[in-house]
Amino acid sequence: MMNPTERTPIIAIASGKGGAGKTSFTLNLCYQLTKLGKKVLVFDADIGLANIDVQLGISTMKDLSDVIQGFCNLEDIIARSEKGFDIIPGRSGFEKQPFLTTLERRDVLKRLRDIAGAYDFVFLDVAAGIDNEVLSFTKYADRTFLVVTPDPSSITDAYALIKLLKTKHEKENCEVMINQAGSLPEGKNTFAKVRMAAEKFLRVQVPLVGIVPYDRQYSTAVKLQQLTSIAFPNSDASLAIEKIAKGLASEYGNRTGDNVRKIGS
Ligand SMILES: Nc1ncnc2c1ncn2[C@@H]1O[C@H](COP(=O)(O)OP(=O)(O)O)[C@@H](O)[C@H]1O
Ligand SMILES: [Mg+2]
Cα(125)–Cα(48) distance, rounded to whole angstroms?
Answer: 12
Nearest to residue 184, comparing CAs of 233, 144, 236? 236
- Kindly give the number of the ligand 1 atom that is closest to the alpha carbon of 219: 27
Q: Quick check: 50 pLDDT over 80?
A: no
pTM (2 d.p.): 0.89
**Domain 10-250, what architecture?**
3-Layer(aba) Sandwich (3.40)
Higher-confidence residue: 256 or 84?
84
Per-residue pLDDT at 91: 61
Per-residue pLDDT at 258: 46
Is 178 in contact with 25 (CB distance < 8 Å)? no
Q: Which of the residue ranges 25-34, 85-94, 217-226 would you say has the lowest mean pLDDT?
A: 85-94
Q: Across residues 231-249, what is the average pLDDT?
A: 96
Domain boundaries, the chain: 10-250
187 to each of 171, 193, 246, how far by Cα in Å?
Answer: 25, 10, 20
Q: Quick check: 98 pLDDT over 60?
A: no
Is 138 in contact with 171 (CB distance < 8 Å)? yes
Higher-confidence residue: 37 or 69?
37
Name the pLDDT band for 9 (thresholds 50, 70, 90). Answer: very high
Host H or E run for residue 178: strand 174-181
Q: Quick check: 128 pLDDT over 80?
A: no
CA 14 / ligand 2 centre spacing (Å): 9
CA 225 / ligand 2 centre spacing (Å): 14
Per-residue pLDDT at 52: 63
> Dihedral sign, CA of 205, 198, 246, 87?
positive
pLDDT tens string 173-184: 899 999 999 999
**Of the ligands numbered here, which is closest to the C-alpha atom of 147?**
1
